[in-house]
Amino acid sequence: MKNVIALAGLALMTIGSYAQDRMTPELLWDLKRVGAANVSPDGKMMFYSIKTYNLEKSSSKSDLWLGGVDGLPAKQITRTAAGEGDAQWSPDGTKIYFLQDGNIFKMDVNGRNQEQVSTIEGGVNGFKLSPDGTKVLFIKDVQMFDVSANQVHEDLKDANARVYDDLMYRHWGGWEDGKRSHVFWAKMVDGKVEGQGLDLMPGQNYDSPNNPFGGMEQITWSPDGNSIVYTCKKKEGKEYAVSTNTDLYQYSVVDGKTINLSEGMMGYDNEAAFSPDGKKIAWLSMEKDGFEADKNDIIVMDLASKKKENLTADKDITVAGFIWGKDASTIYYKTCVEATYQLNSIDVASKKAKQLTTGIHNYTSFTLAGDRLIAGKQSMNHPTDLYSVDIATGTDKQLTDANKAIYDKIKTGEIEKRWVKTTDGKQELVWVIYPPDFDKTKKYPALLYCQGGPQSAVSQFFSYRWNFQLMAANDYIIVAPNRRGLPGFGQEWNDDISGDWGGQPMDDYLSAIDEIKKEPFIDEDRIGAIGASYGGYSVYYLAGIHDNRFKTFISHCGLYNLESWYGTTEELFFANEDIGGPYYGEKIPEGYIKNSPHRKAHKWNTPMLIFHGEKDFRVPLNQGMEAFQALQLQDIESRLITFPTENHWVLSPQNGVYWHREFYNWLDKYLK
């Protein structure tokens, strides 16, 4: 392949290490993970991170690589044990600034002459240089109130009780600790951060970026460096738990004043970006408060007149990310199209949009480099690599091949796109993934994959846990439907799941497996159903209605009892929108009766494996425990595996490999 950065030196392993010709759990964790490209100010060079994992130590680290945007050979420029975060170019392109161990550093472009440039008390969690390099913004944790008993009573040093008087006492994978992430700014003097910085949010009991998944994409400088725009949900306790109303706040570094740019807009507003000339600002916006999967539009505001325009209001899409073009006339954005993520452009004045790319893949991150976009691209069979995308033609050229040493030695299966008629007469896209060396004259076991979210597309994602290539390598055929409630097929299809979790989406699953299992190469007596989160819920629900279609089930962090789940989960806006509100009151939402899997547990008759993270506070551990208890009391073959240090996912290498070993041991026992 021409103009490909092989990165073969990363492998550091012999050919014998890859004697097997199929993907394994261990190889999956050997794969290098390529980060987003960061293009130099002159548009000629780029750096990016490559994250590697050490299975023996169950650890990871990231290093930076520098190469040309036209495919010139890249070289590794950092080799520190700690890794580098938030790396960014200096405005003149002569230095790279990065975060390490809570401090900001700078180095030459070749990675030499590393120098610490900040001494911020308590450390920094993220930062951004101003466009002229004279200032820096950063985020750090501020202790707003005490939670632990030993904070309140200093003589009780070993007391570890937590005290709460309001909701959001825990969130996703962590307990409330009384700390808030605040935005600060400081001057840069001789390339170093001056002092401790000025808090943009003094005394405010709010987070920016938004907790727990927001990053530095939610905070930005204006082109003139005179203001900072940050995203924040300025609500507390119960109000925070039931709302998605984040706003954009513009802070002036000149006079310290703050204004709300999105006041009156009730849903998520975030990821603001100024136009290159500084006259406009654009951001992603959802209209409805409390609906986390609402249509995501691009809003553009003229900063002089404060007039707002919705560029994508008349387009039946949801936007997953955007950047400005080289001037204020064009915006490039990413959206889901029939279960793939493609790059698009839109003219700001006319609102005329154009799809730039096509194909069976997902584009992930993307940034501008002259007349091209440098973008991450992945598929179900291949992790992310960087590509150069010609804006005029949509054609791409591969720039990195970080896992060539592995992929040269293994076989992958084919991915087929199928359309299946649903029970209500519509068409459902279903991916069918085949084993390597597939032989249509043989009979194979099959797996129905149930997606989580619930509003999360079964796109061409490459997962390091629900990895279809790995499933196929174990000689399973995977049936992965884009059932009701997923983006990429219009907002109506996406919204149809709310209030109907156990209705049409379940019919869509059964339509898919009933159609695909007609193929002569699928053994209909050896079919299982698997999934996590809402996919785990789907497994629990299908176990009560499947009429013996499936021979086994695997659920990871699934919702089992919607009533007890509502009483222990944290982001109640999600439950209020999708289930219909609390389970108590004079009028109980129908969803608790119709859609809760625990009400059909008496019909369960099939072996089931349950995984659950003990630190999962989104779908708490009691959900897996209740399901396991129902299985055991009915003498149904079952196993419960919990992970004390994992939350809604399995993120550590050794836990990940163990998860896969148990996953395939269970499937092989009942389907082979």
Question: Known catalytic residues?
Answer: 533, 616, 648
Contact 483, 428 (CB under 8 A): yes
Contact 149, 163 (CB under 8 A): yes
Backbone φ and ψ for 602, nearest 5 degrees, come out as: -70, -15
Q: Which residues contact 652 (CB under 8 A, 6 or more apart)?
A: 58, 645, 646
Integer CA distances (angstroms), 445 to 381, 478, 506, 557, 638, in order? 20, 9, 21, 24, 20
Contact 378, 459 (CB under 8 A): no
Integer CA distances (angstroms), 632 to 298, 605, 647, in order? 50, 11, 24
Q: CA torsion sign, 16 to 17 to 23 to 24? A: positive
CA 666, CA 664: separation in Å to the nearest integer? 5
Helix or strand run (H / E) with residue 239: helix 237-241
Three-class DSSP labels, 331-353:
EEEEEEECCEEEEEEEECCCCCE
Cis upstream peptide for 91 (omega within 30°): no
| Closest by Cα among 239, 174, 229, 172 to 205 | 239
User: In the structure encoding, which two tokens stand for residue 590, read together?
Assistant: 């129908």
CA 302, CA 275: separation in Å to the nearest integer? 10
CA 188, CA 192: separation in Å to the nearest integer? 5
User: In the structure encoding, which two tokens stand for residue 369, read together?
Assistant: 């480099």
DSSP labels, 479-548 = EEE--SS-SSS-HHHHHTTTT-TTSHHHHHHHHHHHHHTTSTTEEEEEEEEEEETHHHHHHHHHTTTSTT
What totals of helices (H) and strands (E) does the chain contain, helices first? 13, 40
Helix or strand run (H / E) with residue 321: strand 319-324
Contact 271, 216 (CB under 8 A): no
Contact 146, 162 (CB under 8 A): no
CA 96, CA 632: separation in Å to the nearest integer? 57
Q: Could you identify the residue written with the tokens 């999105």?
A: 262
Q: CA torsion sign, 471 to 477 to 482 to 488? A: positive
The amino acid at 58: S
Beta-bridge partner residues of 639: 609
Cis upstream peptide for 212 (omega within 30°): yes
Contact 484, 497 (CB under 8 A): yes
Residue 74 DSSP one-character state: P
Q: What is the pairing mode between strands 179-189 and 198-199?
A: antiparallel
On the CB side of 552, CA atoms within 13 Å amount to 22
C-alpha radius of gyration, the chain, whole number: 25
60-93 b/e (C-beta count within 10 Å ≥ 16 → b): ebbbbbbbbbebeebeebbebeebbbbbbbbeee
Residues in the chain: 672
